[in-house]
Amino acid sequence: MIHILIVEDDQNIARMIETAVSIVGYRTSLCGNGSTAVEMIMEHDYDLILLDVMLPGLDGFSVIQKIQGRNIPTIFISALQDVSDKVKGLRLGAEDYIVKPFEAVELLARIEVVLRRSNKGPKSLTYMDITVNIEEHMVKKCDKAIALTPKEFDVLVFFIQNTDIVLTRERLLSKIWGYTYQGESRTVDTHVQQVRRKMGLKDKLVSVPKLGYRLNRP
């Protein structure tokens, strides 16, 4: 099970991140102080660190410098949105830099990318009788290979990674197509319907009125 350390001094934000992360089933630990965070990271093995920049004790930039030897992927979460701050954070070895405020799903998506990049994410996903091999771009249902277009494949993977979470059309657009464009949300609908039809997910991949789609847990 993926174990994530959340270093954030504002209790409400920490609780929010914890809640969001636990939806997709990651285990979490909390810490509200920079220097305590360093001690915790030295003693335990975490798969990922979500690190606030402005912290009591020791700021986030100093924390990441002290734990460089541990080689744990780190995502900065900060209110500072200067490009120079982002560059500083990424130069110090962070995998990503998220500016507050952010949507819960965006955080989950970024976490997922970072975990996959550092080979900590699963190489294959299973959903009921569907098996997805991410590296080989192969989808099987009941051991029978099913042909999906690359975009349909991405849509399917994104849904399986976020079961029980409503994915809005905008989120799907920006995640799969890489842009947000209102007029194109029909593209999303078409692809989702294709995936639903090809994979036989009629009852599971439901549309949520006015929001988007959700893949229910089996």
Partner 1 sequence: MKLWIKVFLFSLTFMVLAVDIAAYTILTSDFSSTISRQTDQAMTQHESMSMMVSGQVLFERLRQSRLLLSSDEVAVILNEITGKRRRNVKDIYFYYGTQPISDTNSDLLDENPGFCNQVFNNEQPFSVIIDYDSKTYVLCGSHLTLEGNNYVIFTTYDVSNIYNQYNEQLRFVQIVSLGAAGITATIMLLFIYLSLKPLTKINQSIRQIAKGDYSLRLKKTGGQEFQELVDNINIMAQSIEQNVKEIQRVADGRKRFNVNLTHEMKTPLTSIMGFADILRIKRSVTPEERQEYASIIVEETKRLRSLSDKLLELTQVSHLPLDCIQLDADSFISDVCTAIQPLLAEKHLELTSQIQEGTVFYANPELFKSLLYNVIENAVKASGPKQTITIKCSNDSENVLFSITDQGIGMTPEEIENATDLFYTINPSRSKQKGGINVGIGLALCKEIAIRHNGTLKITSPPAGGTTISITLPRKRGG
User: Where on the chain is the footprint of partner 1 (CB under 8 A)?
Assistant: 9-13, 15-17, 19-20, 23, 54-57, 79-81, 100-105, 107, 164-168, 211, 214, 216-217
Which of 142/211 has CB closer to partner 1? 211
User: Among residues 108 and 195, whose Cβ is nearest to partner 1?
Assistant: 108
Q: How far is the CB of 101 from partner 1 (least distance, A)?
A: 4
Residue 159 C-beta: closest distance to partner 1, Å = 13
Q: Which helix (H) or strand (E) holds 109?
A: helix 104-117
User: 8 or 47: whose CB is closer to partner 1?
Assistant: 8
Beta carbon of residue 54, minimum distance to partner 1 (angstroms, whole number)? 6
> Residue 80 or 138: which CB sits closer to partner 1?
80
Reported for 146-149, long-range contacts at CB under 8 A and 24+ positions apart, including other chains, are: 146/198, 146/199, 147/198, 148/195, 148/198, 149/194
| Sign of the four-CA dihedral 108, 46, 70, 15 | positive
Assign 192 to helix, strand or coil: helix
Smallest separation, CB 19 to partner 1 (Å)? 6
| Alpha-carbon gap, residue 131 to 176, rounded angstroms | 20
Q: Closest CB to partner 1 among 87 and 142?
A: 87
Q: Which of 64, 157, 53, 55 is nearest to 113 (CA)?
A: 157
- On the question of a cis peptide bond just before residue 73, with omega within 30 degrees of 0, the verdict is no
- Closest approach of Cβ 28 to partner 1, in Å? 14
Q: Is the peptide bond before 101 cis (omega within 30 degrees of 0)?
A: yes
Q: Rounded CA gap, 195 and 202, in Å? A: 10
